[in-house]
Amino acid sequence: MDPVVDTTSGRVRGTTVGSTAVFKGIPYAAAPFGDLRFAAPAPAPAWEGVRPATEFGPTAPKAPYVPPLDRLLHEPSIPGEEILNLNVWTPDLSASLPVLVWIHGGAFEHGSSAVALYDGASFARDGVVFVSVNYRLGAEGFALLDDAPADRGLLDQVAALEWIRDNIAAFGGNSDLVTIAGESAGAMSVVSLMAMPRARGLFRRAIAQSGAGHSVMTAATARKVAAALGETLGVAPTRTAFADIDPKELVDAQELLIARIRSGSDASVWGEITTDAMVFEPSADGNVLPARPIDLLGQGAGSDVDLLIGYNRDEMTLFFVPFGIDRALDDDAARRLAAAYGLTDPAAFDAYRRVGCDASPGQTAMHILRDWMYRIPAVRLAEARAARAAESYIYRFDWQSPVFDGRLGATHALDIGFVFDNLHLPQAAALAGSEPPQELARHMHRAWVSFVTTGSPGWPSYGDKRAEMHFGNTCETVDDDEAELRRLWDGIR
């Protein structure tokens, strides 16, 4: 018999898959269109009778990934306006189990909860109620407009967490044992939520995979982006004007703007976009997000939240190798790229090359950019929290994919299939190849379940010894790995 659950908006009917009850496409807020476009999320309207919750709900308006990334990253698009929806996998409707809430990545432009690898069955199998959420993307979610609330995509995530607080008990979850988790932009969202006053008390633990607390815009940069988007559309950068634009036309315009900024970004004009490459991302508006998350957490925000944070050994290959950029960079170009990210001393570039055993210029540049974008922000966050006796656990994912003749290595997003223990799904092969190691997936998934359940993933927290768990062909704890390279960033990042 199909499971039926009462929510604050009405009854929903899911499906049973094995021993797991699955509910998909449940609205946690009203459709953000019409009068609610570019507004803060509003409560989901009530419905009569029993609503089917058997299919993924609509996804946020977005463009597809560009080739060849479209062959590597699964990107479903589902039409409809009720895009603020979530999905639940639960093993026991009558229990009071820990809850894991997944916030998808995609550079705040792409992604959805309908990505195949985000299937939560393995977490439910292991005693965790799993929830995945959609939120507004691109300009709909993050364009900073004077007559609209800032960071609407983050406010959507808060609304989803409030829905979970009020409803998850009916699905067998314990609202006092909520862990939020995400990868890439999802991880940046997680750390932003840790810093946001409006999210305080809505979760107890947090997991940030390949993203930390540095990747936000100043309000000044965000307003320049909104003004440029308005110029592209031929309208004023206001909520009223943008709300009159068809969502697809808005996405097309934002893609044109993104391409223009990325093709010739000037640091004097576009500030932080020239390095983090995200044209639409959270902005520190002084209200929704009062300041950069790394700064707020350094002041004590989120100190009551346990944190698991990490990065992949070869993060940047996903953005270089499929396009051939790694092989196109010569020594001069690679050194200029390193200098643009703050490593202006030629000796620093040489230090990275030595660690890479006389790596090619492209490989050296990717190592430097990995540290700037992912590793050093994770370390700084753990350092800031350690100073306030807040528990943080760091990991590094090391297993190397055979894809692109092994040049992808332990690339960005490769860890997801392992964490979810979903390597059996066909979509996992795009990044992981045909024979990824199931034992590593078992090990990583077990660590995530342990953290969600107990607050500890099974290795020492980050402190004086700077312990990191390295997940690869062997799994071991390493103290202060690549210390020489870490010190190169002191005073820079």
Exactly one of 113, 184, 189, 461 is catalytic; name it.
184
For residues 341 and 276, give the distance between their C-alpha atoms in angstroms, rounded to a whole number.
10
What is the SS3 assignment for 102?
strand
Strands (E), 43-168: 50-52, 85-90, 97-103, 129-133
Structure token pair of residue 373: 């974008």
Q: Would residue 162 show up in a list of annotated catalytic residues for this protein? A: no
Residue carrying structure tokens 């979850």: 173
What is the SS3 assignment for 478?
strand
Exactly one of 412, 445, 461, 470 is catalytic; name it.
412
Give the angle 376-152-12 at the CA atoms, nearest 5°: 110
Among 30, 29, 32, 85, CA closest to 54 = 85
- Phi and psi at 485, nearest 5°, equal -70, -40
Among 180, 404, 381, CA closest to 314 = 404
Exactly one of 183, 281, 315, 391 is catalytic; name it.
315
**Strand order across the beta sheet in which 306-312 lies:** 15-17, 20-27, 85-90, 129-133, 97-103, 173-183, 205-209, 306-312, 392-397, 467-471, 475-479
Q: Would residue 315 show up in a list of annotated catalytic residues for this protein? A: yes
For residues 243 and 246, give the distance between their C-alpha atoms in angstroms, rounded to a whole number.
8
Q: 443: burial class by Cβ within 10 Å (0-12, 13-18, 19+)?
A: middle
Q: Are 142 and 461 in contact (CB under 8 A)?
A: no
Q: Would residue 412 show up in a list of annotated catalytic residues for this protein? A: yes
Known catalytic residues are 184, 315, 412
